[in-house]
Copies of this chain bind each other. A is one copy, B any other.
């Protein structure tokens, strides 16, 4: 009787790309969360705020495409930014950062910089290049 190899034994889940990515993501997120927590803002919210501060015209569909997030996700994240009055939508569907939002960003950026420094120190030059390379491969 020939014994078949169990697929469970021959499979090497340590190579799982999704798991590796999730782990990287959690380590980096943790650094930013730590630095940002005193301001009661999350990575995701800060990202949107940054984009709104730079873009001339912006709506939720654009954010969704830029960040690879489902439109419902964006909708709920925006709700929190509307509540904080960091973003307004007086001329629907256009999103605009408010003065309050800008002031908040000016306040937070120094801490965002320290989070960036900590992350850079951890990644080193090699890791930074790897991240850029990774994103480049995934987006192209």
Contact = CB atoms under 8 A, between A and B. Distances in A.
Contacts of A130: 129-131, 133-134, 137
A127 interface: yes
Interface residues of A, number: 58
A129 B20 CA distance: 12
Interface in A89-106: 102, 105-106
A41 B63 CA distance: 28
A47 B22 contact: yes
Interface of A: 6-8, 11, 13, 15-32, 43-44, 47, 50-51, 53-54, 67-69, 102, 105-106, 109, 112, 115-116, 119-120, 122-124, 126-135, 137-139
A132 B17 CA distance: 9
A117 to B, nearest CB: 10
A22 B45 CA distance: 12
A129 B126 CA distance: 11
A64 to B, nearest CB: 11
Contact of A25 (B21, B53, B124, B127): B21
Contact of A51 (B13, B26, B47): B13
Contacts of A120: 17
